[in-house]
Amino acid sequence: MIVTVTPNPSVDRTVFLDELTLGAVNRSRRARSEPSGKGVNVALALHAHGVPVRAVLTAGGPVGTQLRQLLDDAGLSTVVVPIDGDIRSNISLTQPDGTVTKINEPGPCASADEHGRLFAAVEGQLTGASWLVCAGSLPEGFPDQWYGDLVALGVARGVPVAIDSSGEPLSQSLSAKPALAKPNLKELADLTETAPTTLGEVIDAAHEVRRRGAQAVLVSLGADGAILVDADGELWGQAPVSRVVSPVGAGDAMLAGYLSCRGDRAQALAAALQWGAAAVQHEGTLLKRITTHAEVSITDAVDPARQLRDAEP
């Protein structure tokens, strides 16, 4: 059983527009609402593929009620910690060329009692867990070290922990030695205070994250695929797609694919790439069951000078 924790979940509203004009009335063609938040997305992707998973999350207010109903409808096993504040309702404005404009609310302000009860709820699910996934931002009121304390708990209980967050919550979790850190390129750059523009620079930054405590680092690179850096070296892989419908949720799908694999590191990276490629080719946040697999290439002969297409200029 994989256990995910989402301290700052949301209901994501995806609005489909022919074009977006700022400062004007824009009329949508259609819209959809989905349960979301990084840990929720990972859990739903795993659940869709028959991988045993349980999502631990907070919920409060009318949006929290809607989130609970959506998760019940999906048949996902959940442990919900009630909070007083209203959880987030995020908006993604999606255009036909794949351009997505996201508007994310900050989320509620949690009390010490609330984040303490969420921590205890996660602790109660660790017996027999194959992975603990700490995912997403922390709401106001959570200490930055909250994920770090949870990673330390998982390590003490013999449960490998994957961390997919950003900023201080990610940085402060590393000294607790998570089994896997899964930043995207921007999160890696912010974490290491670098600006990688080549695969070699990504690898150097990933090794820095390993020196800080992470056992393995999986970096999602958008159109440039993904890099896995661990004690056995570096692997780079790609799974090109002909058309990107929406990149939202692709990183969560990639992490889910990696965790779903019981094979070796190359097979795990290949699964991550396949799930990520599938995610960008469909609408909305959530990854449905994959019916066709992208062609994946994996190599340990990484060209360090290769330029990244998605790097900041």
Q: Any catalytic annotation for residue 252? A: yes
Give bridge partners of residue 263 from the DSSP assignment: none
Using alpha carbons, list the distances in angstroms from residue 74 to 35, 53, 69, 278, 290.
9, 13, 9, 19, 16
Active-site residue, selected from the candidate residues 12, 164, 224, 252: 252
C-alpha closest to that of 57 among 106, 108, 110, 6: 6
C-alpha 92/C-alpha 299 separation (Å) is 35
User: DSSP letter string over 218-267?
Assistant: EEE-GGG-EEEEETTEEEEEE---S--S--TTHHHHHHHHHHH--S-HHH
C-alpha 25/C-alpha 117 separation (Å) is 43
Q: What is the DSSP letter of 55?
A: E
C-alpha 76/C-alpha 72 separation (Å) is 6
Q: Would you name the residues annotated as active-site residues?
A: 252
